[in-house]
Every structure is written in structure tokens, then in C-alpha cells.
Chains A and B, each alone.
Chain A
Amino acid sequence: MGNAAKSYGEETNQVRLGELLSTDLISQLGTVQLGTVQPGAVQRGAVQKSTSTRLVPQEAIKNAQAILKKTAIPNASHELWRQTAPDLFPLEALLQAESVESRVEPFGKNGPVGSVNVGRVNVGSAPVEESELLPLPPGVEWSQDAKASDELLRDVFGPQSSDLDTDAIAQFVACTSRAGGILRVKAGTKLAVPLRMLQWFGTERQTTQSRAGAPVFVVSVESGASCTLLEDLDSSVFGESSGGNFYAPRVEVVVAEKARCEFVSVQRLPTDVAYLGRHRFHLMKDAELRSVHMSVGASVSRLDLDCKLYETGAHADLYSLYLANGERHVDLHTTQRHLAPHCRSNLYCKGAATDEARAVYFGFIRVAEHAQKTDAYQKNRNLLLSDSARADAIPNLEILANDVKCSHGASVGQVGTEELFYLMSRGISRAEAERILVQAFFEDLVGKIENPFVKSYVEEVVSGIFATVV
């Protein structure tokens, strides 16, 4: 094995994960630090000391190991991986993920004005700019102490993750995860300042070592609390790397009774990184969530966004934007799970594809049998900006209750003729009108961000990226 394996990158010739994952190796996942896996020479169980935190509880790892022993890593014929083949992701790089670390200080680059940095995860050892570390506001706690949050973690990775039991890749990522942090916004705390979690992917010049990491973030917005959280995925790139970089963070956000959370995520990783993100939101009674996701980076990007409405009165507004340019492949999978009566979820996502890129949207609304009076909405719009770009939209409904209001719609198209005509009829040239409309396509969703500091920060990021695309 090893040498005969297909390569996924141009310069690497690494072994496939499926071939690597022997029963023996699976048993060691998540328990000891694995040695570096080199092409052609697999060293198993070469223990290295790791100071990184592991937040995934032991039971969850045992469960994952059991699943991995009987379930093969899926290939492109698997229902959930048909649009984005698993071998686009260098999963095996996670076996050598010793370079991931979590820190509380110092931070790379400043975030939005007025924001407070809560914690940073660093992938790779590239230097970062330092910025001022402000004390956390009262009622906010950031820690890496798994023991202190035992109950929360066991809940999130236990019963609340049972839907991932059929997903071998999710189980593998959970086993290999390390680093991250737990953020608590304590009961009744109302925060005006946004909190920022930075994930920094450093890529160094002329490194031969690929970088990989699968950190875990658990956010608990306790009852009656409200906050805005910015997940900021950024990087410093110092020259070309050898590729094969992989980042697979998992974010679990619990919004407790009558709590409110605005969650904004900006993923702008460089194009030598493959990104496989999993964001799960757990909403309790009368909880409110507003999420805005911007996926504008990475060579291959897949985000699985799962919103679970557990108890009555929960309400989620889920907005997403994804941009596929160059030869990038961008995939957004969403699930709105209605598990209780009288919950509302409203999903609106937009994608733009240009050059030779491909964008994928795959969405599910699932309504449980007893979740009567559900109000669920799912809308996906795609903008094609070149002849060779491709966008797929695959919306799905699975409704087991009989008294619900559910609708979905998806479209793929070019800049609208009527919009273009309207702008031109006011004297604006065709080229300028097209530029305005593409920008508007983005701005519309950025406008959904409520916190003004985060909004203007994201506006700047998006218009910067936009300027290089259109």
C-alpha cells in the first residue's frame, strides 16, 4: 500500500485514507498522537507529546471508532458526496495534524472595531501580526478545559450528534480533532460588543510539510443571553506551499431558552487549503438565531450547516453566501431540522460562480412527525458569471407532519435582463450596471448582519474580494 495509491495533489503522492484506516489504526485515533504519515512509509502509533486540547469526549470517540470499523470512508457515489467527491479533501493529512494549537493570546490582526477576541486557533507556525488583547466582557468565558464543561460536551457530541452516525468522514474528523475552545455567554448576559473567534491558517514559504487541523469550538449561549459572534477564518500566506493543506473545523452552537445569537462566519482561506467545515446550531425553547455565512476562500470548500430546532418557539434566520471563482469548488449543504411544534426557520442562500468554478447547493428541510405548525422556508439563488462556470441547486423537503407551512425555491441564472435594463434606463452603462448587480447580489446578504461593527467589517472583506473577482 502507499506507493500504489492515487494522488490527489499535483506534487504529493500520499496514500488514500481508506487504505490507511486499518482496525488497528482506528483504535488508536483520538487516543494517542499519531506519527507523521509519509508517502510510502506509514508509521503507526509513533507517539508524540501533544499539548493540544481534545474537546471530543471519550465516549464519542469510542462510538466513532466503532462506526469507522464497520463503515467505509464514502466515495463519490455516496448520496451526501455525489456533488463533492471525498477525495477532493486530503483527509489523511489529519493524521499528522500536530501543528494545530489553540491560544488565548496574542491575536493576529484586529477584527471589527469594538470587537473582543475570545480565542484563537493557529494552524501552522507562520508568524502573525499581534494585536491588543482586551479583557473579556463580564459574563463571557473562554476555556479549553473539557472537564469543566463535561456535561455540555457530552450532550453536544453524544445524543445531539446521533444524526452523524452514518457519516464516516464526520466520525473520522471527530476522532482526529484537537484544539479549539469552549465559549460561554452566561445566563442573562446581553452583549453589545461582538466576540471574535479567529482561526488562523499560516502557510509558510517553501515548506514541504502540509498543514492540517480539525479543531472543535463549542459555544453555549445560556438562557436569556444575547450576543454576536464572529468566526473569522483568515490566513497569512508566505509564498507557495506544497499543497495538501486541510482544515476541518467543527462548530457547535447551543442557543438556550429565550437566548439570542447572531453568528457571522467569514471563511477566506487561501487556495492551497481544502476546507471541510461543520456548523451545527441547537435551538432550545424560544431561542433565536441569525446566522450569516460567507464562504469565499479555499480551493475546495464544503460547509455542512445544520440547524436543529429542538423546542417550541425557536426561530432561525439562516443566510449564506458562497463565491466560486478560478477553479474552485464550493459546496454548501444545509439542513433545517424541525423537531418541535411552532418553530420557524428561514434560509436564504446565494451563490455566484465564475471562471471555471463550480458551486453546489444541497439543502434539506426535515420536519418531524410531531412538529406541527412548522414554518420553514428555503431559498437558493445562483448567479452564473461565465460560460464555463457551473452551479447546481438541489433543494429537498422531507415533511412528516401534516399541518405545516414549508416552501422552497432554487434558481440558477445570469444577471437579470430586467434589472440590467432598469439600471441602463437611468443612464448607467451595461458594464457598470453588470458590476453593480453582481455586487448587489453580495450586498443583499451582507445587509442581513445586524451588528453594525461586524457588518462594516464584513462589507470591507467582501468588497475587497469582490474587486478581485468582477
Chain B
Amino acid sequence: MSTQTSSDSSSARTSTKSMDHSSPLLTVKNLVAGIEGREILKGLNLSINPGEVHAIMGPNGSGKSTLSKVLAGHPSYKVASGEVLFDGQNLLDFEPDERARQGLFLAFQYPQEIPGVSIMNFLRTALNTRREKDMPVLEFRKLLQEKMEMLEMDKSFATRFVNDGFSGGEKKRNEILQMAVLEPRLAVLDETDSGLDIDALKIVASGVNRIREESKNKPAVLVITHYHRILEHLKPDFVHVLHDGQIVRSGTRDLALELESLGYDWITDSALSAPNN
């Protein structure tokens, strides 16, 4: 199994999905982090190869969202110890904007409303930070329109203010639109499925799949979720169970199915008797 939770996992990986790259895209080693003096992640280990899809599941309060915020560099979250390597570089040394330009993308669980900034201007500015020369307006419009069509978003969204007055589903769709335009190397989807009905979930999930198929460099995806539902569409290569700030179990998609039928108690009880499998 390629993504062990132990700190030596990267050397032990045998995944066939990452034959074209010899080193992992993301390596998290013994990460201890929290917010307002509370320790939430208590020695988390994780390794993701380029192009892979990983899922992290776990009960409320297990540290799922903390992980996503720490990776993206939210200023309220503090890292006490441990290491995060992104493409071999120490990710924690960088500001949130630098991390993004290196190819990390976070689809927020609760996307921020920014009245006064149109989606068009926002995304063009964001895209141009990754380019030597600004993309011409017309070319950008065309690109945005394509991506919006893919996500079945109405054209009028382009001129609307970012997330301002959006429904929960529209906000999530807008996150994936940003992923489509910015083409990250690793996208962390933080409960992107929550608040979506079955149809919207399908559109969003197939959007993510198409982004992966159409990108020059197939992005890796880290899906953070409570439910199995989105995983049926995204088909993760690996599933991890997060409990009390640690990954207590890793496996293939079957693990998600097991969780679905047996609940977290099953895994957390066994975790207590045999931590880190």
C-alpha cells in the first residue's frame, strides 16, 4: 500500500499511479497544529503523489478542516511541530499567496463573500499572478466562459460579486470554477459536497473529474468529507480516516464503504486498541 501513515511512507510507496514521478507532491510529517492554543492535529502523517486522489474522512472535530487551513496557511492556525513538504520545499515557510502560486488550491468549506469584487476581475487577477504576461481580457473571457459551461453555471455569474448572495450550492460550484481556471497541482476540497443536492453534487464532481482529465498536469486531489457519496464520483485511490488529529487508518475505496456501513465508532474503537493500524 502506497500511502502509509507512518513517516517513512514516501520511501515505501509502490503506487502504480505515480510512476512518472519519483517523489511525492505533498508530504506531511508528524504535523502538530491547532488554533487559539488548542492542539487539534496531533502528529499527522500523509503523503500524496502527483495526480492521485486521496480522501480524508472522519467525525466532526477530528481535525479535517484544520488540516486544510494549515496547508493553505490560514493565519489563525499555528503549527507547533512537524513538517509539510510541497514538491520538496517546506510549505510552511511560505505565505498563503506563495503556496497558491506554487500550485496548492483550497476549495473552502465556507467560501468567503466579497461584495464589490466581480468573479471575472478576481479570477483574472488570480490567474495573472501565475503568468509572466497578463492574459488578454478577451482570451480570459473565453476561458472563463468555457469553464462556466462545464460547471453548468449561468453566464451572469462572471459579473456577479464573489459569492455575494450565492446559495450554498452556487458557492461550492464557484470554488470548483476557480480550480478549473487556476489549474492547481494539488486541490484540497474541504467538504465541497456538504450542502449540495444530488444533481449539484454530480455536476461539481464531474467538473473535478474533467479538470483532471483535461489538465496538462493532472492535479492531485485531497477530498475532505463526511460522506461516501462524493467518493463514488471522484473514485479516490486512497482513503484515510482521521480521528483526534491523527490518521488512524488508511486503505482503498473499500474503506469508505466500510465506514459508511459501520460508522466511525467502529474505526475509532479499533483505533484505540491498535493506533495507526
* A binding-site residues for B, Cβ under 8 Å: 417-419, 421-430, 432-433, 436-437, 439-444, 447
Contacts and interface: CB of A to CB of B under 8 A. Distances in A.
Contact of B106 (A425, A441, A444, A447): A425
Contacts of A447: 115-116, 161
Given A424-B95, A427-B101, A427-B130, A439 B178 contact: no
17 contacts: A417-B75, A417-B76, A421-B96, A421-B112, A422-B108, A424-B97, A424-B100, A425-B96, A427-B97, A427-B100, A427-B130, A428-B126, A433-B97, A437-B114, A437-B116, A444-B116, A447-B161
A440 B97 contact: no
Q: Is the interface of A mostly helix, strand, loop or mixed?
A: helix
B97 A429 contact: yes
B71 to A, nearest CB: 10
A34 B104 CA distance: 72
Contact of A441 (B74, B108, B116): B116
B114 A442 contact: no
A426 B112 CA distance: 12
Interface of B: 72-76, 95-97, 99-101, 105-106, 108, 111-112, 114-117, 122-123, 125-126, 129-130, 161, 178, 182
A443 B117 contact: yes
A441 B117 CA distance: 9
Contacts of B161: 440, 444, 447
Contacts of A440: 114-117, 161
A417 B75 CA distance: 8
Nearest to A442: B116
Contacts of A424: 73, 95-97, 100
Given A436-B125, A444-B161, A422 B114 contact: yes
Given A424-B100, A426-B105, 14 more contacts: A419-B112, A421-B73, A422-B111, A422-B112, A424-B73, A425-B105, A425-B106, A426-B178, A426-B182, A427-B129, A436-B117, A440-B117, A442-B116, A443-B116
Contacts of B111: 422
B182 to A, nearest CB: 7
The 10 closest A-B pairs by CB, nearest first: A440-B116, A444-B116, A427-B100, A422-B112, A443-B116, A426-B126, A424-B96, A427-B129, A424-B97, A444-B115
A426 B103 CA distance: 10
A427 B99 CA distance: 7
Contacts of A425: 72-73, 96-97, 99-100, 105-106, 108
A418 B112 contact: yes
A145 B125 CA distance: 54
Given A422-B111, A422-B114, A430 B75 contact: no
B95 A430 contact: yes
Contacts of A437: 114, 116-117
Contacts of A422: 108, 111-112, 114
Contacts of B100: 424-427
B114 A423 contact: yes
Nearest to A426: B126
The residue in A421, A427, A428, A436 that gathers the most chain B C-beta atoms within 10 A of its C-beta is A427
B5 to A, nearest CB: 26
Nearest to B76: A417
A426 B122 contact: yes
Contacts of A436: 117, 122, 125
B74 A429 contact: no
A382 B148 CA distance: 35
